[in-house]
Amino acid sequence: MKANNSWIIRSKSKHQLPLLRLFCIPYAGGHASIFHHWANQLPPNIEVCAIQLPGREKRLKEQPFTHLLPLIQSLAPVLLPDLDIPFAIFGHSTGALISFELARQLRHQKAPNPVYLFVSASRAPQLPITEPPIHQLPDAAFIEKLSRYQGTPEEILINPELMEIFLPTLRADLAINETYIYSHEPPIDYPISAFGGLQDKEVSRDDLAAWCDQTHSTFTLRMFPGNHFFLHSDHQALLSSISQDLISVLSL
């Protein structure tokens, strides 16, 4: 059993010695708790390790990151003790971008590589952002834009006290995505699976398909019913796909 730290929220493994760790990184404004049920629907010898970023839940009082490089440079060393067995990384939306650059940072450090990278509801990193940035908009305009993504519950959007708590973290997380500058590097050497929502108005099938350029290995694209947050509405199909891909590379 690995020591706990503030970055990693672990599932209760059904096996004393898991065969694989799945690190899960949430979307902008998301938190580790969104993955708490995943272990029950994945093979029992997978340990789900949800990443808790600063500025939410038990880390609410910590300053959230606003740029990707400092975040990656802080997160990668924390994970090193847990890379003693095969592992994979999943990220949704902004979490997918974090996952991708985390994987490249591990390669820079000559650390163990993932066996699989799962990217969800995120355009490929080499594609330019076509929408104007929103993270510095006045509150009213910012909240209006947030409602378009359909990921923040209406009861939160209309509650000034709750929004006062969540706005700084949401702005910081979106700043990570909107200030990101892609730098070309050789593709990774392990598989990528990309997932998308059929009704997602923000990320198209073509945006997802472009992830194929980021790997020398196999690439798989799957689309699910739902909007940008299909990982909630169709999580069973998503987890079934993740299980299938991990079983294909390991004897789980």
User: Which positions are annotated as active-site residues?
Assistant: 93
Residue pair 83/55 in contact by the 8 Å Cβ criterion: no
Residue 130: phi, psi to the nearest 5?
Answer: -95, -20
Report helix, strand or coil for 146: helix
Report helix, strand or coil for 224: strand
154 contact partners, CB below 8 Å, separation of at least 6: 147
**C-alpha distance from residue 164 to each of 34, 63, 161 (Å):** 21, 15, 5
DSSP 8-state symbol, 32: G
